[in-house]
Structure 1
Amino acid sequence: MNFAWPHALWLLILVPVMAWWLWRRKGVSAIAFSSVSAMEGLAPSLRQRMVWLPKVLTLVVVSLLIVALARPRKGREQTVSETEGIAIEMVIDRSGSMRAMDFRIDGEPVDRLTAVKNVASKFVLGEDGLEGRYSDLIGLVTFAAYADAVTPPTLDHSFVVSQLQQSSIVNRRDEDGTAIGDAIALSVEKLNALDARQQRKVQSKVLILLTDGENTAGQLDPVQAAELAETMGVKIYAIGVGTNGRAPVAVRDPFTGRKRLRYMEVNIDEETLTNVAELTGGKYFRATDTDSLDAIYREIDQLEKTEVETRQYVSYRELAVQSWRYGAVQVPPLIAVAMVLMCLRLVVEHLWLKELV
């Protein structure tokens, strides 16, 4: 609580002066009696003992009016955030080559898709030094031979992450492949649809493409899809995933049924991915292990910062003229309390104590 006009409280100095004036000794009027000894044993009545009440009520009323003049008020601060957010489409490769076990989490070897799920989830929700993308629209597209729009750009990040965690590597030969161009085009379409929906003001549109291979499926060439993205104002960050040279892949032995590691050549079309990123004003990265993948997402997190404009408002309740709550008690306005006490003073002085005051 504070006061809009605190200097008015200096007027409270007049209250002691008024008290002195009300209780100052007046000239004593007397009527001659031969003797008052018969009155000495009489106890004063209640009205006689309360003769001071009108004066006290006067002082209380004046004090309340002075406090009301200072305009006591109780403020409630409100913060309004206006965000020009970023719309991000995560485009994740789930082709058969993502089974390569060249990444580690907590010292244990994992396939590439598992490592991507781990780092991308931290990027979205925030963990291990990453702030999270709380103000941004996040969508998910996965692809192998075909591109699938799993979730549209949304603020429901928990749902996006749950869908990401449910994504799995394709296990059918007719579904395997790497349709990078189709995946880019589908993601651009989803980002471009935000303008038609007018859901919110989007400051920029970003596509994070993650793949470990070459474009081997689909109808669109990746560079053509990138030209479409550039036309639509979508920036692409491309990440090539996988170690250099050969990578271990878990395969099942047809005779024993046990899984064993088999090494395969890593073929990432880095030239195309670099062209795709640079054509849209983005950047190409190469992730050869979990630490480098984590560092890449951290760099993207810093490159694409959301601008949040925060405005603070304070709404005041004028306690002099508005009721207010103190704990479980509803307190009436100070002016109303002063008026009630003034009426009480008049009743006491001119009715109850009329003959004594």
Structure 2
Amino acid sequence: MTFAWPHAFWLLMLIPLMAWWMWRRRGTASIAFSSVAAVDELPPSLRQRWMWLPKALTLIAFALLVLALARPREGREQTVSQTEGIAIEMVIDRSGSMQALDFNIDGEPVDRLTAVKNVASKFITGGEDLEGRFSDLVGLITFAAYADAETPPTLDHSFVVSRLNQTEIVSRRDEDGTAIGDAIALSVEKLNALDARQERKVQSKILILLTDGENTAGELDPVQAAELAETLGIKIYAIGVGTTGKAPVPVRDPFTGRQRLHYMEVNIDEATLQKVAEITGGKYFRATDTDSLDAIYREIDQLEKTEVETQQYVSYRELAVQSWYWRSFTVPPVVAMAFVVLILRSLLEHLWLKELV
């Protein structure tokens, strides 16, 4: 509870003066008696015992009116946040080469896609050194020989992460390939569609492209797709994932049916990825292990910050004229209590406790 005008409490210093004035000794009686000793020996009646009450109620009413004048208030703080979020498309390669076992999680070797799922999930929802993109629209596109829109940009991040975790490396040869240009073009289309929907104000649109190869499929060249993105104001962060040289890839022996590791050459078209990022004003990164991949997502997280404008309001309940609640009781306004006390005083003074002059 706070008071809008606490200086009003100085008026409470008048209460002792008022009490002295009301209980001061009166003048001499108008009818003279030789002696009142016999009357003094009589026990006081109930009415006589309560003769002080109207005066006390007067002082209580005055104190309540002073309290009302001080304007007691109960404030409730409200926070209103206005967010200009970022729309992010996660574009992830799921071609056959992503099964290379050149990444580690907790000391155990994992394929590239598993490592990407682990770090990208923390980028979206938060974890370790990543705060999460809670105010941002996040979408998911996966690609191999074809690009697939898994989820549109949405605030339902748990659904995005669920779809990401369900993503698998292609197993059919006719689906294998790396359609980087088509994946960029599909991402640009999804991000550009947000303007038509006009669901919320989007501060900027970015595309995080992760691949471990070269553009070997699809109809559109990656550089052409990047030029389209630049025209629409979409920035691309490109990540080339995988070790340099040769990477261990599990293959099944056609004779024994057992899996064995086969070392294959790593071919990442870094020149194209760098150009794609440069055209759109983004940045190119190279991730050769889990730690470097985690560091890349942390850097992107710092580069693309969401602007949140927070305004705080305090709504007050004026307890002098409004009811308020104390524990399980409803307390009437202070002014109402003061008038009730004055009415009670007036009734007592003019009826049961009426003084004869």
Question: Residues 136-285 of structure 1: matches in 2 within 5 Å?
Answer: 136-285=136-285
1: distance between equivalents of 2:30 and 2:258?
A: 123
Give the aligned partner of residue 95 of structure 1. 95
Runs of 4+ in 1 over 6 A off after TM superposition: none
For 2:71 and 2:40, the matched residues in 1 are separated by: 51
TM-superposed CA distance for 1:269, in Å, is 0.4
- Give unmatched runs, 5+ long, in structure 2: none
The 8 Å contact of residues 95 and 176 in structure 1, kept in 2 or not, is answered as yes
Give the total of aligned pairs.
357
TM-score (norm 2): 0.97
Change in 2 beyond 3 A, CA 1:343/1:307: same
Kept in 2, the 8 Å contact 1:4–1:73? The answer is: yes
Q: Secondary structure at the match of 2:351?
A: helix
Q: Percent identity?
A: 79
State whether structure 2 residue 90 is matched by structure 1 residue 84: no
Q: Is the 8 A contact 1:51 1:356 kept in 2?
A: no
Aligned CA distance change for structure 1 residues 25 and 39 (closer, same or farther; 3 Å): closer
Is this contact kept in 2: 1:48–1:356, CA < 8 A?
A: no
- Which residue matches 1:55? 55
Summarize the Cα distance change of 1:262–1:93 in structure 2 as closer, same or farther, 3 Å threshold.
Answer: same
Which amino acid is the alignment partner of residue 347 of structure 1?
A: L
After TM superposition, give the deviation of residue 159 of structure 1 in Å. 1.1
The residue type paired with residue 120 of structure 1 is A
Q: Which residue does the alignment assign to 1:308?
A: 308
Is 2:120 aligned against 1:120?
yes
Partner of 2:291: 291
RMSD: 1.4
The Cα of 1:28 is off from its aligned counterpart by 3.7
Q: Offset at 1:36?
A: 5.2
| d(CA) in 2 for partners of 1:301, 1:356 | 87
Residue of structure 2 in register with 1:345 after alignment = 345
Partner of 1:134: 134
User: Alpha carbons of 1:268 and 1:353: their partners in 2 closer, same or farther (altered >3 Å)?
Assistant: same
Deviation at 1:30, TM superposition (A): 6.4
What one-letter code is carried by the residue in structure 2 that aligns with 1:70? Answer: A
**SS of equivalent residue, structure 1 residue 352:** coil
Aligned partners of 2:199, 2:35: CA distance in 1, in Å?
Answer: 98
Correspondence 1:37-48 to 2 at 5 A: 39=39, 42-48=42-48
Q: TM-score, normalised by structure 1?
A: 0.97
* AA at the equivalent of 1:116: V
Deviation at 1:38, TM superposition (A): 5.4
* Structure 1: runs of 5 or more not aligned: none
